[in-house]
Chain A
Amino acid sequence: MSTKPLSRRALLTSSALVAGGLLTGCGREFNKSETVRKILGSAEDANFAVHRALGDRMQLAREYDEADLSPEFQPNGTRDPATEEYNAHAANNFADWSLELTGLFERPQSFSMAAIRAMPQRTQITRHDCVEGWSAIGKWTGVPLKLLLDAAGLRQSARYLVFHCADRLSGVRYYESIDLLDAYHPQTIMAHMLNDENVPIKNGAPLRLRVERQLGYKHAKYVQQIEAVESLSGVYGGKGGYWEDVGNYAWYAGI
């Protein structure tokens, strides 16, 4: 029977294919292929599903003590939006900054910084993990996002929240989005204070999102507008965030 040499050949051929795949795996063309991305990207979906299936879906991220604070909180992304409009706000200590809630709300409205500060606050000392690998621990104070959503009356049809920011990277407006599970998580806050002072410009003044169970790029800085939407496909590049659109980063950044 000739089955043995045949299967041997088949095995050798398939190992050669694997080796070839490895080599081409290093190439740009191979990595930019939609099929390859789809297959590899399935792991991201698996991570998302497993993380959400494990334990309590409202599980808190670890909170630390004052003694654990990073000496300096490293910024990620934009360090200063430096647009004319932003500079004017900065010169005015962000007194006229406002946060617009738009889209699928019963009562779309605008919150002034004073109104946000007057609402019940949450303070948390948490670890910020950048996708690059570094971590920084900071003390954040802000209004729980849930309170803003309740005040504006989030509609049943809303599935995601889109955070529109004041900073631009290579001329494109920064934005991010989260689902409602993260939106209503107790540690998800719109923070205006870092380590007992107003959030510095490099860390997202005057208002930034904290979504503690995800990586740094999800924590939108310089937030001007929160839009409730049913789907992310019509928003900017359609992938739910600036880095997702331009850099192929995962929308779910829990890992």
Chain B
Amino acid sequence: MDGGLNKERRKAAPKHRLTTRLWHWVNAAAVIILFMSGLNIFNAHPRLYWGSYGSWGDPAWLQLERFSHWMTIPGYYSLADARMWHFFFAWVFAIGLLIFLFISLFNRHLQRDIHISRKEWRWSAIRGDITKHARLDFSHGDSKYNVLQKIAYASVLFLLIPLMIFTGLTMSPAMAANWPWLLDIFGGRQSARSIHFIVTWMLFAFFVGHILLVLLSGPARQLRDMITGGRKDAESS
């Protein structure tokens, strides 16, 4: 279906566009800072509850030791400073995400690369992809991502990140007053806080999986391509 000219242009195009690369690294910094400052904030009250209220006297579904300071930003306990880092990079993350979604919709990245077609939703296709992954075969034929990648990216983009943002907003007393439906959706402020914490670790699992896959699929090349852009045709070699 591709004309010769189209194919030529495809070859010359970088594997990752400049906007993607910029977003990737800004995001990497923002997500790491959000994660580490979030742990510092959690340390202020390392207990989690379901429902609207929950405090020292109430039953917690989870009570943890405080996270060590090498894991937190700042590297010492400071709720005020951690909140400053967290809220600043929440804005960085949110603005980057908005721009990314806007551009991706416009240049059809979402429709073309992330959208999972009905054909791909078949269990046999997914199983085939799992088997391939288990053999450390990460080729994906014609499309940019294979189906497991698509499922991972789509669930992060359209499930986990929105959950993070909206549970975060629910914890703000002013936002909960402005948008009381937030409290209803998540079943109360303390439930929202619990979900915020759980999804943190789901995103952390995605992060670990992402790094692991990069390490298994030629880390030097992958890292280089995410910095310089790389070339599309170099991929299948």
Contacts and interface: CB of A to CB of B under 8 A. Distances in A.
A61 B15 CA distance: 49
A248 B178 contact: no
Given A51-B178, A74-B57, A212-B173, A68 B80 contact: no
Given A4-B228, A133-B42, A59 B178 contact: yes
Nearest to A21: B29
B177 A60 contact: yes
B199 interface: no
A249 B53 contact: no
Contacts of B29: 18, 22
B96 interface: no
A16 to B, nearest CB: 12
B54 A43 contact: no
A41 interface: yes
A40 B88 contact: yes
A254 B177 CA distance: 10
B34 interface: no
B183 interface: yes
A158 interface: no
A64 B91 CA distance: 31
A166 B183 CA distance: 35
Nearest to A69: B53
B87 interface: yes
B91 A46 contact: yes
Contact of A134 (B55, B72, B177): B55
B200 interface: no
A92 interface: no
A254 B54 contact: no
B186 to A, nearest CB: 13
A210 to B, nearest CB: 12
Contacts of B54: 134-135
Interface string B65-108: 00001001111101111011101101100000000000000000
B52 A68 contact: yes
A61 B174 CA distance: 8
Best-surrounded residue of A8, A135, A250 (most CB of chain B within 10 A): A135
Contacts of A132: 44-45, 79
Contact of B227 (A15, A46, A56, A250): A15
A18 B25 contact: yes
Contacts of A61: 173, 176-177
Nearest to A36: B84
Contact of A255 (B25, B57, B172, B189): B172
Contacts of B58: 70-71
B173 A254 contact: yes
Given A61-B176, A135-B53, A248 B88 contact: no
A15 B74 contact: no
Contacts of A4: 228
B151 to A, nearest CB: 29
Given A22-B32, A214-B174, A248-B81, A127 B227 contact: no
B173 A43 contact: no
Contacts of A215: 173
B227 A12 contact: yes
Contacts of B228: 4, 7-8, 11
B42 A250 contact: no
8 contacts: A15-B227, A25-B73, A30-B74, A44-B84, A55-B179, A64-B52, A72-B57, A255-B175
Given A42-B88, A44-B87, A74-B57, 17 more contacts: A22-B29, A26-B76, A43-B88, A62-B176, A62-B183, A68-B53, A70-B57, A74-B56, A127-B52, A129-B173, A129-B189, A132-B45, A134-B56, A135-B190, A213-B174, A255-B171, A255-B175
Interface of B: 25, 29, 32-33, 41-42, 44-45, 47, 52-58, 69, 72-76, 78-81, 83-85, 87-88, 90-91, 171-180, 183, 189-190, 193, 227-228
Interface of A: 4, 7-8, 11-12, 15, 18, 22, 25-28, 30-31, 37, 39-44, 46-47, 51, 54-56, 59-62, 64, 68, 70-72, 74, 127, 129-137, 212-215, 243, 247-250, 254-255
